[in-house]
Structure 1
Amino acid sequence: MKAEYRSISPSLGSSFNTTLFEGKEFIASWHFHPQYELTYILGSSGIRYVGDNMGNFEYGDLVLVGSNLPHCWKTIGEQKEEVRCIIVQWDKEMLEDWLEKKEFQHIKQLLALASRGIRFDFETALKVENQLLALVDLPPFERLLSFLQILQELAVNGSHHFLAGEGFTTNLTIKESERVNLIYNYVKEYYNQQISLDDVSKKIAMNKESFCRFFKKTFRKSFFEFINEYKISMATKMLINTDLTASEIGYQVGYNNLSFFNRQFNKFVKMSPSKYRKMYRDI
């Protein structure tokens, strides 16, 4: 699939779009649009890309994406359940006049932060889950009021962290976005094998030197750092969802050397695989 600029139409009778998406997997490639987007995951799991950030998603993942910030969600591996999520999208102009009023100061600050992408913590997400679910079936006027209440709750009481780095640029061309999506799909398919610069650069019709410059400029990290980050993201999911040993998981995600796997895990997660598994199982 090609990444693309997406045009979004409001829901019938509304000034913004509210969708309950259900399907076997997310159909959108890495894309961008001028609208803000709030996505809440109700089912399925995988890897989320926002700007230059990569992270796991599962039930309770609530993310706010700013205008023209590239993003996509990709299901990974065998799924126990289908994708279900609430997606709310609105134009910058929709709230433009209101944001100058004192009553909207907190929402204004929240939307300004969304340029880097924001992930809210699980407790914050659960607080607004029922309101998000209800948005789909509410009449237009009540939907707008409830939506503003959700934004206010997230702005005032929501705990969150940024996703994309400060230096990430949203000024990507369609062609550059297409390249990124080809890279994502290639890594998803071959991450547990030996991937060479020759392989991936040929895939996107670039020479190795140009590819390395393009990747470093776009993501502010090397391609091999990105691959290792992807492998470790997969490993964290397996540590939580399987009873495989750390060495078995390291092998399955493409590491033939257990010591190197442990070093990479510590680099990206800041703890050992065994400590990570224990932390989640003690919750």
Structure 2
Amino acid sequence: MQIKDFMIDQSLKELTEHRTVVLPIACYETTINQNINGYIPHHWHDEFQFVLIVKGEAIFQINEEKLAVREGEGLFINSGSLHMAKDKNDSGCVYICLNVSPSLVLSQELYTSYVNPYIQATNIPYLYLDAKELWAKNILAAIVKINQLIQQNPPYYEIDITIQLTLIWKNLLINGFELEYEHTEMLKSHRMKQMLNWIHLHYAEKILLDDIARAGQLSRSECCRYFKRILKTTPLNYVTDYRIQKSLILLQQSEFNVTDVAYQVGFNSTSYFIDKFRNSMNMTPLAYKKYKNYCSLVK
């Protein structure tokens, strides 16, 4: 199963239920360019995420950092970390995505000592899994094993999955990373999510930079620095990109024409919407609408 349209709430928290078995876990293969946006947009979730690239190469951004991840390599993305992914150089990137509720990783008795400190650590939004490192190689192998167990459903496979999760977490711990806890980093993450939450509640309205800054309890200049540092864009450019994301779903509905969609997502000019849409999607909104209608007819 691939999630092609990420459902997120106003703060970018992913709403997808991460469950493909009776356990609070989901494991599936994702082809990045098959997402409705052509990439995996910024989102976050409470679950831990483990990634293994099985084909091609991807550019991941986790909080403020960007890195390329190649075939055979992977990532651990911590609970609550804002992240996105794009295919690099049209490589047809495919990766196994394993999302796990932190409460499932170890027993309740061990959770406080061995799991929660990682969730709270501000210096580990992610870990790069290099197959040349034994601990990382073991984690990548366990991801493959869990994916196989879910596909094959052998007897007692849920128990085997929990065994593999324990091995994953043990190997994560033995890498010996020092954990740090900085209040300023926690506050920065909270303020960023507050601003995103405000934008996603009000994207269809007129939005000023002052409004976004006020939502994060920041000055205009500091607000711009947050967006530039974390999302690599300006606040108002982010608003435009988000409006275009929201338009993709509406354009697939026959009852709305391009002008209807433009105004519903917050543009006050159809021509401006068309121009920005073309810059983002390399086609006009009408061409996108016709293409999606054709695809639905030939399915």
TM-score, scaled relative to structure 1: 0.51
Which structure is higher in RCO with an 8 Å CA cutoff and minimum separation 6?
1
SS of 1:70's equivalent? coil
Distance 1:133 1:189, change over 3 A: farther
Deviations 1:140-165 (A, max 9, x none): 225556999xxxxxxxxxxxxxxxxx
By how many angstroms is 1:193 displaced? 0.8
| Matched-pair contact (CA < 8 Å) for 1:131–1:146 | no
Alignment correspondent of 2:188: 176
2:295 maps to 1:269: no
Match for residue 24 of structure 2 among 19, 22, 30: 19
**C-alpha deviations, 1:32-74, integer Å up to 9, x for none?**
78x5446xxxxxxxxxx96479xxxxxxxxxx7634781389x
Question: CA distance change for structure 1 residues 208 and 101 in 2, over 3 Å: closer, same or farther?
Answer: closer
CA distance in 1, matches of 2:230, 2:220: 15
* C-alpha contact (below 8 Å) 2:149/2:161 kept by paired residues: no
Unaligned runs of 5+ in 2: 1-8, 12-21, 27-42, 52-60, 66-74, 85-97, 106-114, 119-126, 168-181
Alignment correspondent of 1:71: 82
Look up the SS of the partner of 2:226 in the other structure.
helix
- Relative to structure 1, is the Cα distance of residues 218 and 139 closer, same or farther in structure 2, using a 3 angstrom cutoff? closer
Report the counterpart of residue 15 of structure 2 in structure 1.
none
Q: Cα distance 1:98–1:270, how it changes in 2: closer, same or farther (>3 A)?
A: closer
Contact kept in structure 2, 1:51 and 1:69, CA below 8 Å? no
User: Would the aligned equivalents of 1:215 and 1:221 in 2 still touch at CA under 8 Å?
Assistant: yes
TM-score (norm 2): 0.49
RMSD (Å), alpha carbons: 4.9
SS of corresponding position for 2:212? helix
CA deviations on 1:154-179 (whole Å, 9 max, x unpaired) are xxxxxxxxxxxxxxxxx981111101
1:178/1:145 CA distance change after superposition, 3 Å: closer
Match of 1:140 among 134, 151, 159: 159
Unaligned residue ranges in structure 1 (runs of 5+)? 4-16, 22-28, 39-48, 54-63, 74-85, 112-127, 149-170
Match of 2:210 in 1: 198
Q: Sequence identity, in percent?
A: 18
2:44/2:80 contact within 8 Å kept: no
Residue number in structure 2 paired with 1:100: 134
d(CA) in 1 for partners of 2:204 and 2:131? 50
Match of residue 124 from structure 2: none
Paired residues of 1:182 and 1:204 also in contact (CA < 8 A):
yes
